[in-house]
């Protein structure tokens, strides 16, 4: 610190000390006021607040011309009756495999590590890698979770009073590889292993796991193929283009008891339309079905999460088949800030689809783009769902990394 600034700070300290003695302010408050005064003096010695490097990094409206990677780490802090205090961290690392390729999609590695005072654990490591010219696409996921959740039963008419608290111990390994075979068209292979175990989450629950197929858990290993079409202009902040993916996997009979044997088919369709320079309409349809006579409850597709059919507790409605649709209007009001409004409609069903059973959701949210080069964002949404007679309206807040789709 140079001599003039040091002299100014000494004068400020002496003057505030005099005021505090005469005004009978406590010593702690005196010290706090002195500290804030010096901080104020040093802060405004800068040209502007946003010239401070760490603040400038997250407020500038200029992209990084070096196409450098970025890292964001956020704390995980929560409380619920089932978990008590939860502490941890989540982070995402964005990068280009080849910075010289201006057509390449953003690759990322994201992770979650959290623990609760009730000795519950949530660990996740996911990667999404795109090679030069987007010729190859690799997806991996490793997850371990020992965590409580609410089970309501099977079907689209479950009641809040059906809720039973269970504790799930879950391990997953997933690997997918897709290769571009012609322009914008990919073919791929995938392998997935999952292992589930369950126990009653509370000794006061009057719930018998033996009455549910797969109630005590099970495991399966599935091998499959995928086909994709992708003409999006970005995989993190899409403003135009189409995306479609169909994936089928088969789980052979490798284990006995309630382990799954059969097929899994999923379809994901998306379209994005630029309505204005800053306004985009995105639409999505998702379908999933299982091919087996015996389907353990833990594999039934679940309605509701932070990406589609927001506003519903994930697992409140679950069954053999799942269909969900959504539309989202996105407005980029500032390079760093975006707004969104969305509507959704979906259902789960056993055999025949009944459109009269569609459930609806809607809401809105804010996006903060912490990385302009990769268009990576923090998403805050609030959504509401249906209101059943005698129950509170379903809904909730969501805090996530990246757009919903």
Evaluate whether 272 touches 240 at the Cβ level (below 8 Å): yes
Q: What is the mean pLDDT of each run of 10 residues along the chain (405 residues)?
A: 54 52 49 52 55 74 85 91 92 96 96 95 98 97 95 94 91 98 97 93 69 90 98 97 98 86 97 96 98 93 96 96 98 97 97 92 97 95 95 94 95
Residue 326: CB atoms within 10 A of its CB come to 23
**Predicted pLDDT at 48:** 63
Cα-trace Rg, the chain: 26
What residue ranges do the domains of the chain occupy?
A: 3-43, 49-401
Nearest of 382, 384, 386, 380 to residue 400 by alpha carbon: 380
Question: What confidence score (pLDDT) does residue 245 get?
Answer: 98
Closest by CA to 156, choosing from 318, 1, 345, 355, is 318
CA–CA separation, 81 vs 72, rounded Å? 29
Continuous segment of H or E residues that includes residue 17:
helix 3-23
Give the pLDDT of residue 25. 45
Closest CA to 131 of 180, 173, 175: 180
| Length, in residues, of the chain | 405
Alpha-carbon dihedral of residues 92, 98, 103, 108, nearest 10 degrees? -10
- Per-residue confidence (pLDDT) for residue 66, from 0 to 100: 87
pTM: 0.83
23 in helix, strand or coil? helix
Q: Residue 23's pLDDT is what?
A: 47
How many angstroms separate the CA atoms of 288 and 321, rounded? 6
3-class DSSP assignment, residue 305: coil
Q: What architecture does CATH give domain 49-401?
A: Beta Barrel (2.40)
């Amino acid at each position: 610190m140079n001599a003039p600034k040091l002299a100014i700070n000494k004068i400020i300290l002496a003057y505030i000390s005099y005021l505090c003695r005469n005004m009978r302010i406590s010593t702690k408050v005196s010290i706090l006021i002195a500290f804030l005064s010096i901080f104020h003096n040093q802060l405004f010695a800068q040209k502007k607040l946003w010239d401070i490097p760490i603040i400038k990094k997250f407020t500038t409206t200029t992209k990084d011309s070096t196409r450098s990677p970025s890292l964001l780490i956020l704390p995980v802090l929560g409380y619920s009756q089932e978990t008590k205090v939860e502490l941890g961290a989540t982070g995402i690392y964005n990068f280009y495999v080849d910075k010289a390729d201006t057509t390449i999609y953003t690759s990322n590695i994201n992770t979650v590590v959290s623990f609760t005072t009730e000795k519950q654990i949530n660990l996740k490591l996911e990667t999404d890698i795109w090679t030069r010219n987007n010729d190859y696409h690799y997806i991996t996921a490793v997850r371990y979770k020992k965590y409580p959740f609410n089970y309501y039963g099977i079907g689209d008419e479950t009641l809040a009073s059906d809720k039973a608290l269970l504790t799930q111990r879950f391990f997953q390994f997933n690997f997918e590889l897709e290769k571009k075979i012609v322009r914008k068209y990919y073919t791929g292979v995938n392998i997935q292993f999952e292992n589930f175990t369950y126990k009653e989450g509370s000794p006061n629950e009057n719930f018998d796991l033996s009455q549910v197929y797969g109630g005590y858990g099970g495991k399966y290993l599935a091998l499959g193929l995928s086909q994709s079409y992708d003409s999006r202009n970005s995989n993190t902040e899409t403003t135009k283009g189409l995306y479609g993916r169909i994936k089928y996997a088969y789980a052979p009979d490798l284990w006995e008891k309630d382990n799954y044997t059969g097929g899994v088919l999923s379809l994901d369709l998306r379209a994005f339309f630029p309505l204005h320079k800053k306004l985009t309409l995105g639409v999505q349809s998702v379908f999933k079905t299982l091919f087996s006579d015996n389907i353990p409850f833990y594999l039934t597709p679940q309605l509701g999460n932070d990406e589609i059919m927001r506003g519903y507790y994930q697992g409140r409605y679950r069954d053999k088949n799942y269909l969900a649709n959504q539309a989202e209007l996105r407005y980029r009001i500032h390079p760093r800030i975006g707004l969104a409004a969305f509507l959704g409609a979906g259902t789960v069903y056993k055999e025949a689809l009944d459109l009269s059973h569609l459930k609806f959701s809607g809401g809105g949210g804010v996006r903060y783009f912490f990385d302009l080069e990769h268009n990576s964002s923090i998403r805050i949404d609030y959504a509401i769902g249906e209101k059943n007679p005698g129950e509170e309206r379903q809904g909730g807040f969501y805090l996530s990394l990246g757009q919903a789709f």
